[in-house]
Structure 1
């Protein structure tokens, strides 16, 4: 068996195909030579995906990231990364290559990435595919905050329910999170300030949740968080960490004393339950959180 593993490792380093393995925290745990060369990683480096992308962007190497707002680009990418059992995407590289990268996600959240060089595709076909990808991202992204939109998170919710009902995954939790007194923020500071609060909250949420969690804006100041393979206690812990970091945030440089809070409601999926029923139970739990003083999380499991 050891000799077989050694042969597999040797072949991985010999192939031009990019191979990488990420854990549930989106930290690189294994990568072959081709992947490390493409993204300019030392042999003993095991950074997070975000660290890889940030370094590539700053040094203008590895992946080409065309954006005037890197943080917004990251939020948009994180809202889709690792959220499906399998997906493919195209990457433009600074070395002139065009890579077709696939993501295969296990039920425990570990992810295998495999990239193939498809530079030989005709340029006109490449442009058409890039235009298609741009349009697809726009259709899945909330324009204001850069996170996933209502369409994407509800599609993920339906897929998650199907996986559980088919025995592919364990039950999961859904949380509805609402920014407290958001209308008062708009009335006092103006809509631009309200937009800044929304973007601040999205940034905090994405920095706190797991890669396997799906987070998006479902309307106004309301957001949904889907937490696969997660017990009630784990769901509460994740959401409480988000709410705590929100309470410590000061999004207005001109008014450093300003803070805001969020309320949240959690429900766990019941086998056979419709997505709307699951959502409405979480929404009722959110209502309880508002009734009980805001800036807290409540849950309904019955």
Structure 2
């Protein structure tokens, strides 16, 4: 086996095709010389994909990113990156090259990326295909927050329920997240303040999502986290860390006293489950979390409540 692996590495190192592998945390674990040259990586570097993109964008090299707000583009892209088993798309580099990129993702979140140079293809054909790719991206993206939308998240739940269960985590879980006392934001301070909170929440949660998981906005102030092959106990620990991070948020500029929290309802996938059935159980658990005082997690099942560590701050303080 070692000799086969060594042969494969030699083949990858000697080809002009770009080859790279990322782990479940999106950290680069292998890249051949062609990939490292295209994205300006030293031989011994193993950075996160987000750091590769951020560094090259700042230096005006690497991938062409057509976005005025790079960080918003990063959140949007990461909400879909590596969330399905296979994806193929075209991308261009600042140096003028055009690449056909494929991403193959294992169940544990490791991803193999292979790219071929297709610069010689007709420019007008590339433009048509790129317009198609942009349209597909838009159809899966929530316009306000930039994370995945209901359609994309629903498809990830369907995939989770079709896969064979793991020994440790079963089919997996969903966590329905809802911002506490959100209505007073729009009623008392206008939609702009509410939009700032929604974007801040989406950005903070998206930054904590694992490669194998999916996070998106279902509508209004309701978001959904899909955690394949994750037990409900493990899922609760993940969401508890998110609760702690969100409690520190101060999303409104010049209003450092504005804070917010969220509540979460967790449900575990079962054999024969449907998207609607699983979502309904998570929604029921979320309702219990709200009725129990908010700023906490409520799991379906015989051990219902996982209370939050800290007391809930008011969304808007008394003036």
TM bracket, shorter-chain basis = over 0.9
Cα distance in 2 for partners of 1:199, 1:216 equals 12
4+ runs of 1 displaced by more than 6 Å?
none
Following superposition of structure 1 onto structure 2, how do residues 1-302 of structure 1 map, counting pairs within 5 Å? 1-164=1-164, 170-301=170-301
State the TM-score, normalizing by the size of structure 2. Answer: 0.91
Q: Which structure 2 segments of 5+ residues have no match?
A: 303-319
**Deviation by residue 1:235-279 (Cα, 9 ceiling, x = unmatched):** 001111111111111111211011000000000000101110100
Q: Which structure 1 segments of 5+ residues have no match?
A: none
Shift of 1:283: 0.4
Shift of 1:17: 0.8
2:317 aligned residue: none
Cα distance in 1 for partners of 2:84, 2:170 equals 15
Counting matched residue pairs gives 301
Shift of 1:170: 4.3
> Which has more helix, going by share of residues?
1
Contact residue 209 and residue 242 of structure 1 kept, 8 A: no
Contact residue 164 and residue 271 of structure 1 kept, 8 A: no
**Deviation by residue 1:172-228 (Cα, 9 ceiling, x = unmatched):** 110100000100122222110100100000000111111211111001000011001
Cα distance in 1 for partners of 2:223, 2:9 equals 43
State the TM-score, normalizing by the size of structure 1. Answer: 0.96
**Deviation by residue 1:10-36 (Cα, 9 ceiling, x = unmatched):** 221110111111111110111111111
2:315 aligned residue: none
SS at match of 1:164: coil
Cα distance in 1 for partners of 2:202, 2:164 equals 27
Cα distance in 2 for partners of 1:93, 1:78 equals 19
Cα distance in 2 for partners of 1:10, 1:164 equals 35
Contact residue 215 and residue 224 of structure 2 kept, 8 A: yes
- Aligned-residue Cα RMSD (Å) equals 1.6
Shift of 1:231: 1.2
Shift of 1:89: 1.6
SS at match of 1:73: helix
